[in-house]
Structure 1
Amino acid sequence: MLEWILGCYSLYLVIKLYASFMEIGCVQKAKSFEPIILSPSNYLKAAAYKIASQKMAIVSSLYDFFIFFGWIAFGLAYLAEYRFVENEVLHSVLFVMMFIAVNYFLTLPFDLYQTFNLDKKFGFSTISLKTYVMDQCKAVLMFLLFGGAFFAIMSLIILHFEYWWLYGFLFSFGVILFINMIYPSVIVPLFNKLTPLEDETLKCSIEALLTKAGLKSSGVFSLDASKRDNRLNAYFGGLGSSKRVVLFDTLIAKLEKHELLAVLGHELGHFKHNDIVKNIASSALMLFMMFVLFGNLPDSLFDALHVNASPHMVIVLFLMLSPLISFVMMPLFGMLSRYNEYRADEYGSECESKEALCSALVKLADENRSFPFSHPLTIALYFTHPPLTQRLEKLGMHFSKEAM
């Protein structure tokens, strides 16, 4: 079983590396094309950023593999030798927290490089070191409080129920729904300042769109995203009565009113087509399959790792191997998501016009320096949105065959 897992993880690594090399080659070739969608200067910057990001992904993937191999070869057995406390549940929480803390510090250099080197170099990141440290401290504190409680309850479920994987799934999915519900009103304000939208004309137009779509929200807010990043975005956050419209201040500053309404119309398209419910159902299916798998791990795997089949070891293996399971299932979910994006584009163009949505998508791509070309394998493996050229063509914008 252990050899099979290492073989699958090795194949996972090879596919990721191959996809990154293919993406670099695709972008290198496309750099010589006549710029489309983006301005000539941003076209070259976007290509350079994507190449740099892929090179970093290659190094990061190799690094993650060595960390994974280290845990499998000796790390888990070494950590299992320590008995932190006699209470089994508390010991499980401390064990999992120690595992996560080691991984956090091992991967922190990559996050620092991404934030303060790569994203700064290309004009995305605006975050100060003080804000970054404060964000990390808040995130760690929240994780210690709520993550600790989550792992404690999961440990109790594993200890006391024969079919713990079923109850564990129900509990975990309930937590996910709860987090989504409180995210815009409780979690976001801990990191960003949310203020009611001041532009009354824009606010009235947005509320008219919401009414037309049959969506009730708890308000329209502007988020001070520019203190961390210059990229543009907007989203509908929350579930039930907690739903609210959140616009990045960078988006408000860069888009015209009709463009902004077209973007929000696209998001409302997801609501009208029940894509949110579909995404929740898809996530539930993926999570359920993971719990079925990890709830029936053979004892031979734990013997091969020289550890006991304890609650904390099951949770750690879940954390280690779930990215592999997600990677296998992502192409299917990505394909469904891309189909939903086309339908949302249709609704967004009906809310304003195809021209308005095209204009907004072009500005978003240019400001975010999103390179318009990607290798088909990258699209199949990772893309939840269709390539921008294809979205724009569906909306009536045409490109020369040479550019495509």
Structure 2
Amino acid sequence: MLQFFVIAYCLYFFFTIYTSFMQIGFVKDSMKKRAVILSTKKYYEAANYSIDKEKLAIVSTFFDFIIFVFWLGFGLKFLDSQIVTDSQILKAVIFINLFIVVNYIFTLPFSLYQTFKLDKKYGFSNMTPALYLKDTIKSALLTLIFGSLVVAGISYIILNFPFWWIFGFIFIFAVIILINMLYPVIRDKMFDKFEKLKDSVLEEKINNLLKEVGFKSSGVFSVDASKRDSRLNAYFGGLGSTKRVVLFDTLVEKLTHNELLAVLGHELGHFKNGDILKNIGIIGLVMFIFFAIFGNLNEELFLSLGLNSEPSSIIAIFLIFSPALSFFLMPLISLISRHNEYAADSFGSNLSSKEDLVNALLKLANENKSFPHSHKLYIFFYYSHPPLIERFKELGYDVEKEKFI
């Protein structure tokens, strides 16, 4: 069975590298074409940013493969031998926390380069070393506290239930729902500064829009995202009573009222079409498949790695191989997501107007320097949203002639 997982990871490694090279070549060829959607200057900047990101991704993927070989060839066995305790639950908590810390240290240079070199170069990152350190410490504390509780919970289930993977899935799925409920509250208390909209006219328009589609929330907030990044975004966060509308301050600054309402109309389309529940269902299905696989590993796999079949090793193997398995499920998930995005565009444009939504998307593309062309294979594996050119076609906007048809 170990051979199967290793082959799957190697295929994942190969396809990741291959798609990045295909994307780089495609973007370089597309740079020779006339600029569309973006201004000429930003068209070339976006292309170069896309290429630089893929180059970094290639190096990072090679390094991830080295880490993968390290863990299977030596790391897991060595780490297991260093933890001496009679409690398998405590062992799992210590083991997984150390596993995460080692992975974080290995990948930290890439995160630093992305934030302080690449994103600074293209005018995105406003992050300071002090804020980065502050965010890192807070994230580490959250991971240590809540991550340890989750590991302890799943370890208890593994040790006490014969078909533990079924109960383990239910436990983790419940944790995912809880995280989605608490996410905006945690962001508010620990990372971002949430404020009620200062523009009372805009707030009234948004509240009227929410009432029109029957979306109940705990409020409309602006968040100081610009202290970290200059890109534009908005989202609906939380579940149940914690639901809220969150607008990046950069978005409020750059978009007109009508354009903002069009963006929110698109997001409300996801709500009206039941996409939130669909996404939760898809996550649940993927998690169930993973638990069914990793909950039925044979003893031979653990012996070949010099480990025992116990919570610490089961969870570590899950964490090592799940990215590879996720990669091969992503095309189907992305296909469903792209379909939902078209439907949300249609809903949003009917709620406001196609012109407002197109204008908003044009501004988002220019401010975020989103290159409009991508290789079909890259889209197949990675695009959860349709390519911008295709979205504009569906909205009746000809990007070549820059007018509606």
Shorter-chain TM-score range = over 0.9
Alpha-carbon shift at residue 74 of structure 1 (Å): 1.2
Alpha-carbon shift at residue 8 of structure 1 (Å): 1.5
Query: What is the distance in 2 between the residues matched to 1:379 and 1:111?
Result: 24
Question: Residue 158 of structure 1 contacts residue 165 of structure 1 at CA under 8 Å; is this kept in 2?
Answer: yes
Question: Residue 88 of structure 2 contacts residue 312 of structure 2 at CA under 8 Å; is this kept in 1?
Answer: no
Q: Which residue of 2 aligns with 1:123?
A: 123
Aligned ranges for residues 193-208 of structure 1 at < 5 Å? 193-208=193-208
The count of aligned residue pairs is 401
User: Are 1:249 and 2:223 an aligned pair?
Assistant: no
Amino acid at match of 2:96: V
Query: What is the distance in 2 between the residues matched to 1:187 and 1:349?
Result: 30
User: Are 1:275 and 2:275 an aligned pair?
Assistant: yes
Aligned ranges for residues 101-250 of structure 1 at < 5 Å? 101-250=101-250
Amino acid at match of 1:120: K
Q: Which residue of 1 aligns with 2:351?
A: 351
User: Are 1:312 and 2:312 an aligned pair?
Assistant: yes
Aligned ranges for residues 375-394 of structure 1 at < 5 Å? 375-394=375-394
Query: What is the distance in 2 between the residues matched to 1:156 and 1:96?
Result: 14
TM-score, structure 2 as length reference: 0.98
Stretch moving more, 182-191 or 196-205? 182-191
Q: Deviations over 1:134-173 (max 9, x none)?
A: 0000000111111111111111110111111011100001
Alpha-carbon shift at residue 42 of structure 1 (Å): 0.6
Amino acid at match of 1:301: L
Amino acid at match of 2:104: Y
Alpha-carbon shift at residue 369 of structure 1 (Å): 0.1
Amino acid at match of 2:4: W
Q: Which residue of 2 aligns with 1:64?
A: 64
Query: What is the distance in 1 between the residues matched to 2:400 and 2:355?
Result: 19
Query: What is the distance in 2 between the residues matched to 1:34 and 1:205?
Result: 38
Structure 1 stretches of 4+ moved >6 Å: none
Structure 2: stretches of 5+ with no match in the other structure: none
Alpha-carbon shift at residue 188 of structure 1 (Å): 3.7
Query: What is the distance in 1 between the residues matched to 2:224 and 2:84?
Result: 42
User: Are 1:36 and 2:49 an aligned pair?
Assistant: no
Amino acid at match of 2:378: T
Alpha-carbon shift at residue 346 of structure 1 (Å): 0.5
User: Are 1:300 and 2:300 an aligned pair?
Assistant: yes
Amino acid at match of 1:61: T
Question: Any idea what SS the aligned residue of 2:283 has?
Answer: helix
Q: Deviations over 1:78-108 (max 9, x none)?
A: 1111224332211110011111110010001
Q: Which residue of 1 aligns with 2:14?
A: 14
Amino acid at match of 1:38: L
Question: Any idea what SS the aligned residue of 1:154 has?
Answer: helix
Query: What is the distance in 2 between the residues matched to 1:188 and 1:5?
Result: 40
Question: Residue 19 of structure 1 contacts residue 378 of structure 1 at CA under 8 Å; is this kept in 2?
Answer: yes
Amino acid at match of 1:71: W
Query: What is the distance in 1 between the residues matched to 2:15 and 2:303?
Result: 29
Query: What is the distance in 2 between the residues matched to 1:228 and 1:275?
Result: 29
Query: What is the distance in 2 between the residues matched to 1:188 and 1:302?
Result: 42
Question: Any idea what SS the aligned residue of 1:151 has?
Answer: helix
Q: Deviations over 1:9-31 (max 9, x none)?
A: 11111111110000001100010
Question: Any idea what SS the aligned residue of 1:247 has?
Answer: strand
Alpha-carbon shift at residue 2 of structure 1 (Å): 2.0
Alpha-carbon shift at residue 187 of structure 1 (Å): 3.3
Query: What is the distance in 1 between the residues matched to 2:297 and 2:61?
Result: 26
Q: Deviations over 1:316-354 (max 9, x none)?
A: 011111111111111001000000000000111011100
Query: What is the distance in 2 between the residues matched to 1:339 and 1:255?
Result: 26
Question: Residue 197 of structure 1 contacts residue 203 of structure 1 at CA under 8 Å; is this kept in 2?
Answer: yes
Q: Deviations over 1:226-248 (max 9, x none)?
A: 00000000000000111100000
Query: What is the distance in 2 between the residues matched to 1:84 and 1:261?
Result: 58
Q: Deviations over 1:173-217 (max 9, x none)?
A: 101101100111233431010001111110011011111111100
Q: Which residue of 2 aligns with 1:330?
A: 330
Question: Any idea what SS the aligned residue of 1:81 has?
Answer: helix
Question: Any idea what SS the aligned residue of 2:82 has?
Answer: coil
Alpha-carbon shift at residue 7 of structure 1 (Å): 1.6
User: Are 1:321 and 2:321 an aligned pair?
Assistant: yes
Query: What is the distance in 2 between the residues matched to 1:314 and 1:36?
Result: 49
Q: Which residue of 1 aligns with 2:73?
A: 73
Structure 1: stretches of 5+ with no match in the other structure: none
Query: What is the distance in 2 between the residues matched to 1:358 and 1:247?
Result: 19
Question: Any idea what SS the aligned residue of 1:378 has?
Answer: helix
Q: Which residue of 1 aligns with 2:90?
A: 90
Question: Any idea what SS the aligned residue of 2:343 has?
Answer: helix
Q: Which residue of 2 aligns with 1:264?
A: 264
Amino acid at match of 1:160: N
Stretch moving more, 6-15 or 380-389? 6-15
Q: Which residue of 2 aligns with 1:372?
A: 372
Question: Residue 30 of structure 1 contacts residue 373 of structure 1 at CA under 8 Å; is this kept in 2?
Answer: yes
Query: What is the distance in 2 between the residues matched to 1:165 and 1:178?
Result: 20
